[in-house]
Amino acid sequence: MSDSTAGSDVPPPAVPEERGDFAGLVPAPIAGPFRKSWAWFDDRTGITGLLYKGLYEAVPKRGGWAYTLGSATLVVIIVQFFTGIFLLLDYVPSVTQAYGSLLYLRTDDLFGDWIRGIHLWGAYTLMLLIGVHALRTFISASYKKPRELNWISGVMLFFLVLAMAITGAMLPWDQASYWTAVVVTNIPHYLPVIGNGVRALWRGGDFVGPLTLTRTFALHIWVLPALLLGLIGGHLYLLRRHGEFGSWVNYRTTTDDPEKEIAERIRHAEPPYPTRGSEPRYSVPSETVDFFPDQLFKDTVVSLVLVIFIFVMALISGAPLDGPANAATLTYVPTPEWFYLPLDQLLVFFPTELIGFGVFVVVGIGATLMLALPFIDRNPERHPIRRPDVLVPAFFFIGTVIYLAMLGVNRLYNL
Ligand code: HEM
């Protein structure tokens, strides 16, 4: 492919609104006695057009199974929201009643224990899914121009989900959650200048107590979900604006005149392609299919398998509940959730007085590098083999994380 095509960016389509506007061109999806009501509703909202636009947008044909991870993440988050609402029917956010309300849920509520198990296994699955989804978009270099904000909003979602997991773990007010609260709410005090103030604000005083639970509860059910929903909206809007990049396999040229082939693709592109602001060769996949039924079918299969897995695991192994919180215990050794194991193990290598500093340096550097990735990696190539400068350090990092997790398991469980 010649440089003249690679250099200039694709301008916006001539009349974008018209190209994406299905309103008035498509039949109402509802027949029979409800058709009139649908027409009334459609007149006011334009819902039919939106529905068709959503369903019949083009997505890359090849590699569709890898693109199911984002929608599966979304489905598991929805499961978390639903089960969270059900848990709220019994849970009481008070240090004197939280534990008892979960005991009640366990013994007296017909599906209570199962719902709690689904919420826990949903959280585990979500952590894994979000990691694999991030890894897939990293390997396919989907973070490159113009999708930098897809990636940055994704990184912020990743940290929000981690925050949801850690605040959720503090709510049962059993031994595990109480000591998690003691350790986690202590971390902010290592921040320079404002550290002590942030810790006191979160704890509601110098020590973990009733206000700590009230505030952590507010974070878990209001503040973080609101941010999460807003950011998911933004993430999906950007996805629809730029279209799914997919991966390098979707952009191979097959003729001996790649420039002409790419120009042809751009001429015949279906919305949302050609991607505005993209290099021409990566602006339109060589072959696309409609989101419905092709991609939606794959999304449904993967999400369904995962939801069944979560439901079954919740039934088999439920969610643990330790003894009630006891601030006077001297022997309790808090163990971190598996997804915090690598960080926990890394901090073992720091002297005690430097642990907080270690958290901020390690998490701070990691988060900054992740957020800045689209601006650090300026290599225009998308094929992983041609991007060793980012792939090699990333795989070294992943290998270290796995190794630390193994060390952590050995240390905590004497394997
Ligand atoms: C709440 C969490 C998240 C949800 C619900 C979500 C949802 C989605 C969905 C539905 C897609 C389109 C399908 C796909 O490519 O899999 C997508 C694409 C994308 N996501 Fe996420 N995502 C989340 C977190 C993340 C994270 C943690 C990252 C990276 C750190 C990320 C980066 C991206 C990128 C770059 C794309 C564009 C992929 C492409 O065009 O090839 N997302 N996301």
pLDDT in tens, 77-132: 999 999 999 999 999 999 999 999 999 999 999 999 999 999 999 999 999 999 99
d(CA 98, CA 88): 11
Is residue 334 classed exposed, middle or buried when 0-12, 13-18 and 19+ CB atoms within 10 A define those classes? Answer: middle
Whether 94 and 214 share a structural domain: yes
Would you state the pLDDT for residue 379? 93
- Residue to mutate, 57, 59, 69, 73, ligand 1, most ligand atoms under 8 Å from C-beta: 73
Which atom of ligand 1 has the smallest separation from the CA of 244? Answer: 40
278 lines ligand 1 (CB under 6 A): no
Q: Which residues make Cβ contacts (< 8 Å) with residue 78, sequence separation at least 6?
A: none
Instruction: Kindly report the average pLDDT of the chain as a whole number.
Output: 92
For the segment 174-183, the average pLDDT, to the nearest whole number, is: 94
Whether 197 and 241 share a structural domain: yes
Q: Which of 246, 248, 256 is nearest to 1 (CA)?
A: 256
Residue 157's alpha-carbon distances to 230, 277, 341, 362, in angstroms, are 10, 24, 20, 19
Would you state the pLDDT for residue 24? 55
Write out pLDDT tens, residues 226-255.
999 999 999 999 999 999 999 999 999 999
Tell me how far the alpha carbon of residue 154 lies from the centroid of ligand 1, in angstroms. 6
**Structural domain includes residue 211:** yes
**Structural domain includes residue 147:** yes
3-class SS of residue 286: coil
66 lines ligand 1 (CB under 6 A): no
**Structural domain includes residue 157:** yes
The larger pLDDT score, comparing residue 20 to residue 158, is at 158
Would you state the pLDDT for residue 17? 45
Write out pLDDT tens, residues 198-237.
999 999 999 999 999 999 999 999 999 999 999 999 999 9
- Residue whose CA is closest, atom 35 of ligand 1? 151
Tell me how far the alpha carbon of residue 10 lies from the centroid of ligand 1, in angstroms. 23
Give the DSSP per-residue string, 317-331.
H-----SBP-TT-SS
For the segment 277-304, the average pLDDT, to the nearest whole number, is: 97
239 lines ligand 1 (CB under 6 A): yes
Tell me which amino acid residue 61 is: K
Q: Which of 380, 373, 135, 149 is nearest to 242 (CA)?
A: 149
Would you state the pLDDT for residue 182? 94
* pLDDT bucket at 49, cuts 50 / 70 / 90: confident
**Structural domain includes residue 39:** no
b/e map 337-375, b = 16+ CB within 10 Å: bebbbbbbbbbeeeeeeebbebbeeeeeeeeeebbebbe
**Structural domain includes residue 264:** no
* Cβ atoms of 221 and 204 closer than 8 Å: no
For residue 13, is pLDDT > 70?
Answer: no
Structural domains in the chain (count):
2
Would you state the pLDDT for residue 36? 87
Whether 340 and 405 share a structural domain: yes
Whether 138 and 236 share a structural domain: yes
Write out pLDDT tens, residues 318-357.
999 999 999 998 888 878 889 999 998 988 888 877 887 7
Q: What percent of the chain has pLDDT over 70?
A: 94
Please state which of the ranges 1-10, 61-70, 133-142, 257-266 shows the lowest mean pLDDT: 1-10
Q: What percent of the chain has pLDDT over 90?
A: 77
Tell me which amino acid residue 148 is: E
Which one of 298, 331, 364 terminates a domain?
A: 331
Whether 324 and 373 share a structural domain: no
Whether 290 and 377 share a structural domain: no
Longest dimension (CA), the chain: 76
Other residues' Cβ atoms within 10 Å of the Cβ of residue 131? 17
* pLDDT bucket at 9, cuts 50 / 70 / 90: confident
Would you state the pLDDT for residue 415? 64
Q: What angle in degrees, to the nearest 10, is found between the helix axes of 175-186 and 148-169?
A: 130
User: 75: domain CATH number?
Assistant: 1.20.810.10
For residue 135, is pLDDT > 90?
Answer: yes
- Long-range interactions of 325-332: CB distance < 8 A, separation 24+: 325/95, 325/99, 325/173, 325/174, 325/175, 325/177, 325/178, 326/175, 326/178, 327/178, 327/208, 329/175, 332/175, 332/179
* pLDDT bucket at 6, cuts 50 / 70 / 90: very low
Give the DSSP per-residue string, 330-371.
SS------GGGHHHHHHHHTS-GGGHHHHHHHHHHHHHHHHH
Tell me how far the alpha carbon of residue 127 lies from the centroid of ligand 1, in angstroms. 14
Would you state the pLDDT for residue 30? 79
Would you state the pLDDT for residue 299? 98
245 lines ligand 1 (CB under 6 A): yes
For residue 18, is pLDDT > 50?
Answer: no
Whether 135 and 217 share a structural domain: yes
* pLDDT bucket at 12, cuts 50 / 70 / 90: low
The larger pLDDT score, comparing residue 161 to residue 192, is at 161
69 lines ligand 1 (CB under 6 A): yes
Would you state the pLDDT for residue 107? 92
Q: Whole domain around residue 68: which residue ranges?
A: 60-246+285-331
Whether 322 and 343 share a structural domain: no
Please state which of the ranges 14-18, 139-143, 340-344, 361-365 shows the lowest mean pLDDT: 14-18
158 lines ligand 1 (CB under 6 A): yes
Tell me how far the alpha carbon of residue 406 lies from the centroid of ligand 1, in angstroms. 28
The larger pLDDT score, comparing residue 8 to residue 150, is at 150
- Residue to mutate, 132, 147, 150, ligand 1, most ligand atoms under 8 Å from C-beta: 150
**Structural domain includes residue 33:** no
Whether 298 and 392 share a structural domain: no
For the segment 164-190, the average pLDDT, to the nearest whole number, is: 94
Whether 76 and 140 share a structural domain: yes
Would you state the pLDDT for residue 26? 66
221 lines ligand 1 (CB under 6 A): no
Whether 347 and 325 share a structural domain: no
pTM for the whole thing?
Answer: 0.92
**Structural domain includes residue 174:** yes
Whether 303 and 354 share a structural domain: no
* pLDDT bucket at 5, cuts 50 / 70 / 90: very low
- Residue to mutate, 239, 291, 369, ligand 1, most ligand atoms under 8 Å from C-beta: 239
**Structural domain includes residue 18:** no
Q: Which of 404, 396, 378, 303 is nearest to 143 (CA)?
A: 378
